[in-house]
Amino acid sequence: MASTARVKEILSWYPSDNAGVKTNLSRLLNTGRLAGTGKLVILPVDQGFEHGPDRSFGPNPPAFDPDYHYQLAVEAGCNAYAAPLGFLEATAGKFAGEVPLILKLNNSDLLEEVEPRSAITSSVKDAVRLGCTAVGYTIYPGSKERNATFQDLRDIIREAKEYGLPTVLWAYPRGSGIPKTSEQAVDVIAYAAQISAQMGAHVIKVKPPNATVHTKEAKAVYEKAGTKLETLADRVRVVTRAAFNGHRIVIFSGGEAKDTASVLEDVKQIAAGGGFGSIMGRNSFQRPKADAIQLLSQVMEAFASK
Amino acid sequence: MASTARVKEILSWYPSDNAGVKTNLSRLLNTGRLAGTGKLVILPVDQGFEHGPDRSFGPNPPAFDPDYHYQLAVEAGCNAYAAPLGFLEATAGKFAGEVPLILKLNNSDLLEEVEPRSAITSSVKDAVRLGCTAVGYTIYPGSKERNATFQDLRDIIREAKEYGLPTVLWAYPRGSGIPKTSEQAVDVIAYAAQISAQMGAHVIKVKPPNATVHTKEAKAVYEKAGTKLETLADRVRVVTRAAFNGHRIVIFSGGEAKDTASVLEDVKQIAAGGGFGSIMGRNSFQRPKADAIQLLSQVMEAFASK
Amino acid sequence: MASTARVKEILSWYPSDNAGVKTNLSRLLNTGRLAGTGKLVILPVDQGFEHGPDRSFGPNPPAFDPDYHYQLAVEAGCNAYAAPLGFLEATAGKFAGEVPLILKLNNSDLLEEVEPRSAITSSVKDAVRLGCTAVGYTIYPGSKERNATFQDLRDIIREAKEYGLPTVLWAYPRGSGIPKTSEQAVDVIAYAAQISAQMGAHVIKVKPPNATVHTKEAKAVYEKAGTKLETLADRVRVVTRAAFNGHRIVIFSGGEAKDTASVLEDVKQIAAGGGFGSIMGRNSFQRPKADAIQLLSQVMEAFASK
Amino acid sequence: MASTARVKEILSWYPSDNAGVKTNLSRLLNTGRLAGTGKLVILPVDQGFEHGPDRSFGPNPPAFDPDYHYQLAVEAGCNAYAAPLGFLEATAGKFAGEVPLILKLNNSDLLEEVEPRSAITSSVKDAVRLGCTAVGYTIYPGSKERNATFQDLRDIIREAKEYGLPTVLWAYPRGSGIPKTSEQAVDVIAYAAQISAQMGAHVIKVKPPNATVHTKEAKAVYEKAGTKLETLADRVRVVTRAAFNGHRIVIFSGGEAKDTASVLEDVKQIAAGGGFGSIMGRNSFQRPKADAIQLLSQVMEAFASK
Amino acid sequence: MASTARVKEILSWYPSDNAGVKTNLSRLLNTGRLAGTGKLVILPVDQGFEHGPDRSFGPNPPAFDPDYHYQLAVEAGCNAYAAPLGFLEATAGKFAGEVPLILKLNNSDLLEEVEPRSAITSSVKDAVRLGCTAVGYTIYPGSKERNATFQDLRDIIREAKEYGLPTVLWAYPRGSGIPKTSEQAVDVIAYAAQISAQMGAHVIKVKPPNATVHTKEAKAVYEKAGTKLETLADRVRVVTRAAFNGHRIVIFSGGEAKDTASVLEDVKQIAAGGGFGSIMGRNSFQRPKADAIQLLSQVMEAFASK
């Protein structure tokens, strides 16, 4: 499909990238029910690895099957489906191209708690071999393992670019430098978004920021400028501003499974604040498939109407 | 031999793998007395390294000889024989192709107890040079050394695929994150199977799960869904479900040497629960050869009859 | 433009470098309002990463936009603009060559305090791909991480030379070996300049030295020789002398944002003491653009008149 | 010379090795006074590095000279001479081929006590360049540094095979996992021999086992089977059995310098127990040369007569 | 110039080295006022990095200039000039071949005290690019960082040989394994010389040994053999003996700056004991140039007259 003016505008924010990366970015933006709007809804399914299989898929047992998620992403009209190697190995060669795939290159599990740093579990070349449209990677700003994680990311972004693949970055502030209560503080989430953008991420995924302000320096700046932080929309504005004044694609996760009304209210706030979309895992695959498709459809409408 | 419908079905679960990997998977499935059934009985002999030679082979001294194990695997009609480099160096060039070989690429010994992480003792290229059909590797989910171990595995799986070799993963939850009493907890074993599948293992080897449930989250899910955990068969069902809804080959170890009736009872439960087979070391090579062949034969019958 | 006698003299201090490196050094020296004078004023903008976006750009919100800084450097007539990967990705391909770029290859953030060592966040090849004129790198003499940092620098300088790129080194004494009160001690800054020059840096950036003397050995030498340390100019003389008797380009940072008069007084002292220029971030981009251009203009005049 | 039946039998135990490795193994077996017998006496001189020069060579000062040892090995009719890089650099190009050389690739010194792990001090390519017949390497089973040491060994064995060089492994159980009193326990030495063989060593060098049994599991096995451990010959039998039922070449060190009668008694026991030979450093080079040649001659006779 | 008989004899001690290495060794031996004598006086200037610039060059300010040292080495008729990368970058391309250069590949600074291990600050390829005649490297026997340092050295020696460059090794026993008072103990210095020779160094630089004996084993050997240790000449004899019975080039440093008479007395003792020369930094460049040239001239005479 021909790119819309909005998609062309978004692509113009990446002037130093090669044609391959821009082509795959446009594939993400030109797929599914939100194609052409500049908004994205992505289905991520790494919880089997990150939280364990029973806890993740037990509430909706068909979700134990890799096919289930690929098909859910297609049927719901998502822009992309993101998962670790195993789930993509089990489906990419079978369905071959029905939805853009994002290979999550690193993962953690809950069987041992260490200073946050995910293990690298697959490679850029795996993503190429599986026909993926982008690679995904998780960083934990605030972790003592920062340097190693950032340096691995640097190598991944560089290699991915060589294959024309953009990088989607999951940025979760966490670790010994950040108290639990500040992990979603608005200034911390904004800082994480800035780091992600400076590292060269093409798409940045953060958690919805809350009204906590972690650092006194940011607090002083907000107060002096009269920055509004009351609503989620206000705070999403602060975060997208931190991502190159809105010139990087920032999407927000849904967090823990919750009721439909709450999910939709969050989404509307995110859209109102200038967020580029949502990435919604547990709220999708832990419901019966028909319910999930309906919810995702409502989420997409919320973004499309902005 | 032409592949049976069941073997073809199993191979269809690996749609993204190249023809070389699928060919070697089919060799594993089309060898020995269980050829074509989709079930496997594998002889593994790494205990000389892992537990020490006298303790492992002293009870049946002919087992000190590398030839003994290769020949036992052939005579018993096993699907494959798995061992560290030295045992395969001593036999592969002599017998040359009488049974599929799995080269165990990493090993631990008991002379020093460290946070669980096996040393890499051989390479994918060694497996190729020795004519092996697959490579084997051990992970310890729950160990603080998780990241390094997973990342080495990632490189190994990738390199093995380039040579058309599938990967058999030994997954033992163990380490500072997991109390001794939870090492065979059903949810922990299921989690280990999920991690293994997500990492891209083709065949997954776990210990038989017991009725312990380690995490409250899994407990809640089991209770809500009324998941049965009483029999070993019940629990094997939970574990194979965690391995992509039964679409990855999961086999179970026998554990410590014990009497024949107990071994066979376990095997029947494993078969009833949907397990794909057994991997049986000490219960095989610590008996006189004739007894071992008889026991393995009974085990194979138990699986064949399912 | 033809190089002036002064530029030719400066280039003669780098007799072992290849023509590519000398060409790019001459580009730095032959650009902007100070072209040909042998002096440099550089705009560095890594504070979004190093201190956080709100704290850095909140005081002057247009500065959230990557375009802002590139254009500020051009309009103010700076010799170069230095920034991390993301800011250069967002502008290099759009403006393409309006001002020499320096890619900062490593960065720290404030979300976790570790023994000082910046993460490598981009590469020499990125600098080449983005059309940069030099690479930048930060070392922390006094840190326990010294060896790893120095060795990474070694590799970077070597690779940069292969591509004809000079290296600009940010040298901040900091870490468990140096008390906070000695971080800008004149002998410590001089030592950092010497290390930088011996490592092969082409341009060295240090903080303005204060009158503290950290080591008794340096104190004895200063006293015996009657070395003057009273004014900033005196101390700048000690520092440039430590950089190969003035035969390496040493520039000074402005430090925290402060009032115009203070900034200009510092600059005059630096110029009087033989400093080659200033690198001025927060004092530039945290003011309204017109004010920043005016200040930078005054700074440049101070250097040009020397 | 044509290989004897015994040499051919020994070579048959390495069926997976290439012709180059077998050729060099046959060179070791077909050199010196024991040529063709399947027995080996090797002169190792790494004590200058491992214990210090004065302590090692002071008792017989001509031994400070590298030429001395090479010539001693030739004149005594040893199968091979093993030493670190420096000693071989100083002699290999001068004498060129008068005796097979084994380059010791790693070494420790006594100036600092760390958890046992030798530094890699030369490479397989050095061995090739110096015309060596084999490479040597030391492992310390029981050390916390096990994994790194084993993994380096793995790479070395693989690279050595590519050049047709067999690997001689010095296996010394030592480290925080093993009390001093168990370092020569028979079950521990047997375990070290097994590990060495499983890692792919072609020749294994251990210390003579004493009658201590370190693990209760081995003790139980020995008692149940009535394994004799009284004489050194008995214990050598247990150790060679652990090395693939006698199908790997296992040689024994002499240990500290002692009187001739004790040395010869040990050697006779080793020969009686099925040991393949001795490696004798201090007992050789700390005597006057004529005495050393006489002793080595008696040692060789003891092995030849078996 | 044609090599003298003595130079030919010295070169004969390196029979396994390629022609390139021997050619560069002969350049070191055939340069300056001591050309052809088999003796060497080298000017080393790494103190700016190792001790700081003011402390090192402040006593004689012209020494802040890189040109100063290169010219001092030429005018004094030294065999070679050794320095870190920066000093050689600043001069090698300007003077081009007036004196053999030795690039010091690793360096430490005093801003942080860590277990002794120098950072690698330049490479063999830098030495080649700068037209150097040899590379230099520092080891600290006795440091817990021994293994990493030795292994880096191994790689450097190997790479240097490929380019025909000999290696000059600075061996300073130091670290947690050695009390301060034993750092120049004669047995410890002898041990360091042995390690250096075994690692493959072509030229070994140690500090002058004092009469302390650190280990009881060496003490016993010295006493039994009646080894004389009273004079520096006696002790130099013990050290050169430890370096392959005098068949490796061992040179001695002067240590801290001191008066001319003391320097010359040391040098005469070193020469009398069979030392191959001196390496003299602070005693050279901290005096006025004319004085330094006179002193070096006297030092050379002392060696030439032996």
Using a CB–CB cutoff of 8 Å, tell me whether B37 touches chain D. Answer: no
Whether C47 and C87 have beta carbons less than 8 Å apart is answered as no
Per CB-CB distance under 8 Å, the chain B contacts of A111 are: 141-142, 146, 173, 175, 177-178, 188, 191-192
Using a CB–CB cutoff of 8 Å, tell me whether E55 touches chain C. Answer: yes
Per CB-CB distance under 8 Å, the chain B contacts of D241 are: 53, 61, 64
Write down the pLDDT at residue E131: 97
In sequence order, what DSSP letters do the residues of D290-303 get, joined into one string? HHHHHHHHHHHHHH
AA letter at E283: N
CB contact under 8 A, A84 and B198: yes
- Is residue C205 part of the annotated active site? The answer reads yes
Cα C7–C10–C12 angle (5° rounding)?
110
pLDDT at B235 over 70: yes
Confidence grade of residue A70 (pLDDT, cut at 50, 70, 90): very high
Write down the pLDDT at residue A256: 67
CB contact under 8 A, E154 and D122: yes
Across the interface, of E13, E151, E215, the residue whose CB is closest to D119 is E151
CA E267, CA E236: separation in Å to the nearest integer? 11
Please give the mean pLDDT across all residues of chain B. 96
ipTM score of complex: 0.94
Phi-psi region for residue A175, left (φ > 0), alpha (ψ -120 to 50) or beta? left
Residues in chain D with pLDDT values less than 50: none
Across the interface, of D51, D112, D130, the residue whose CB is closest to E16 is D130
Across the interface, of B143, B221, B244, the residue whose CB is closest to A58 is B221
C205, C207, C219, C224: the active-site residue: C205
pLDDT along chain E (306 residues), means of 10: 93 97 97 97 97 96 98 98 98 95 97 92 98 98 96 98 98 95 98 98 98 97 97 98 98 81 94 97 96 97 90
CB contact under 8 A, D89 and E158: no
Give the model confidence (pLDDT) of B176-224 as tens digits: 999 999 999 999 999 999 999 999 999 999 999 999 999 999 999 999 9
- Residue D261, judged by CB atoms within 10 A of its CB (0-12, 13-18, 19+), counts as exposed
Interface of E with D in 157-186 (CB under 8 A): 158, 173, 175-178
Confidence grade of residue C1 (pLDDT, cut at 50, 70, 90): confident
Give the model confidence (pLDDT) of D24-83 as tens digits: 999 999 999 999 999 999 999 999 999 999 999 999 999 999 999 999 999 999 999 999
CB contact under 8 A, E58 and C225: yes
Write down the pLDDT at residue B255: 63
Per CB-CB distance under 8 Å, the chain B contacts of D154 are: 119-123
Residue of C46, C47, C50, C54 to mutate, interface with A, max A Cβ within 10 Å: C54
pTM of the model: 0.95
CB contact under 8 A, C64 and A144: no
CB contact under 8 A, A54 and B190: yes
Using a CB–CB cutoff of 8 Å, tell me whether C123 touches chain A. Answer: yes
B22, B39, B161, B205: the active-site residue: B205
Chains D and A touch (3+ CB pairs under 8 A): no
AA letter at B267: V
- Residue B219, judged by CB atoms within 10 A of its CB (0-12, 13-18, 19+), counts as middle
Chains that touch E (3 or more CB pairs under 8 A): C, D
Write down the pLDDT at residue B256: 67
Residue of E240, E244, E239, E253 lying closest to E205 (CA atoms): E253
CB contact under 8 A, D200 and B129: no
CB contact under 8 A, B200 and A122: yes
Across the interface, of B48, B55, B126, the residue whose CB is closest to D218 is B55
CB contact under 8 A, D112 and E175: yes
Give the model confidence (pLDDT) of B239-278 as tens digits: 999 999 999 999 999 766 678 999 999 999 999 999 999 9
- Residue E296, judged by CB atoms within 10 A of its CB (0-12, 13-18, 19+), counts as buried
3-state secondary structure chain B: CCCCHHHHHHHHCCCCCCHHHHHHHHHHHCCCCCCCCCCEEEEECCHHHHCCHHHHHCCCHHHHCHHHHHHHHHHHCCCEEEECHHHHHHHHHHHCCCCCEEEECEECCCCCCCCCCCEECCCHHHHHHCCCCEEEEEECCCCCCHHHHHHHHHHHHHHHHHCCCCEEEEECCCCCCCCHHHCCEHHHHHHHHHHHHHHCCCEEEECCCECCCCCHHHHHHHHHHCCCCCCHHHHHHHHHHHCCCCCCEEEEECCCCCCHHHHHHHHHHHHHCCCCEEECCHHHHCCCHHHHHHHHHHHHHHHHCC
Across the interface, of B197, B242, B244, the residue whose CB is closest to A54 is B242
